[in-house]
A and B are shown apart, each in its own frame.
Chain A
Amino acid sequence: MLNASDQHIAQFNNASRERRQRKHLEILVVEDQPFSSKLMITLLGRISDAYPAFDAQTALELYLSRAPDIVFLDIEMPDTNGHELASAIRQLDSDAYIIMVTANNYPEDVSRAKHNGVIGFIAKPYSKQKILEGVEKYIQERKLKS
């Protein structure tokens, strides 16, 4: 079960205020496999401050301490599945921008992701085009809001 301490939630309140004023993008990559994680970070690191989390609890703590602009989130992880993490993040942050990534192609994953307020879905193998489209979409939506 994922835990968010009061201290983490207080950190998030500060971090989300900073997020509104940040000039650069911060992107959290949640992927338990080091190879796939490194590949994503390599691409995203060229356009953002991108950082990894290899398990759900670490991902949640990083999310709360840094309030990233975008989360790329693998559905299948050993300790907690991506849907539970997405749900936990969205409950704490209604502005969370989550793009789920999967090597499977199950319709129930898509519908559960939508129910959790996930913005987008990318299938493996990673595609540079799809990943950058996801980032670009976030940037455009943020421009419209400001």
Chain B
Amino acid sequence: MADPVDLTNLRSMTDGDKEMEKELFKEFFSSFEIGIASLQVNMEEEAAETWRNATHSLKGIALNLGAMELGNLCKKGQDEYQANKETKNILLQAIQKEYSQVRGFLLNLVSV
């Protein structure tokens, strides 16, 4: 099974600086968790634009990290910004599940 994150691109940007990598991972966790919290409270129809903006933002962060599957799930969330609450709930659960895979992978890297 492929790793949930491909850090090749990120490492080219950081020149393999491990300390900077750790800082970036912390920033990633913080940004992503804020985004997920926003999705949790913005699933109603009247909050569709807020949902769309949040999923768009998360997509960009995930792609820049190298978490392509997570980025794709966020893109799906963005595309379905006008879906009903039940659909959004399913999408959010998928995003959360993939995020926890990504988070576990990164935490494992920094502890080695």
Contacts and interface: CB of A to CB of B under 8 A. Distances in A.
Interface of A: 32-36, 38-40, 42-43, 46, 74, 76, 78, 103-104, 124-128
B34 to A, nearest CB: 10
Interface string B11-44: 0111101001001100110110000000000000
B60 interface: yes
Interface string B65-83: 1100001000000000000
Interface residues of B, number: 25
B9 A126 contact: yes
Contacts of A127: 9
A35 B24 contact: yes
Nearest to B31: A35
Contact of B27 (A35, A76, A78, A125): A35
Interface of B: 9-10, 12-15, 17, 20, 23-24, 27-28, 30-31, 53, 56-57, 59-61, 63-66, 71
A128 B17 CA distance: 15
A76 B56 contact: yes
Given A39-B13, A42-B13, A128-B12, 16 more contacts: A33-B31, A34-B31, A35-B30, A35-B61, A38-B24, A39-B10, A40-B13, A74-B60, A76-B57, A78-B53, A103-B59, A124-B63, A125-B9, A125-B64, A126-B64, A127-B9
A33 B31 CA distance: 7
A128 B27 contact: no
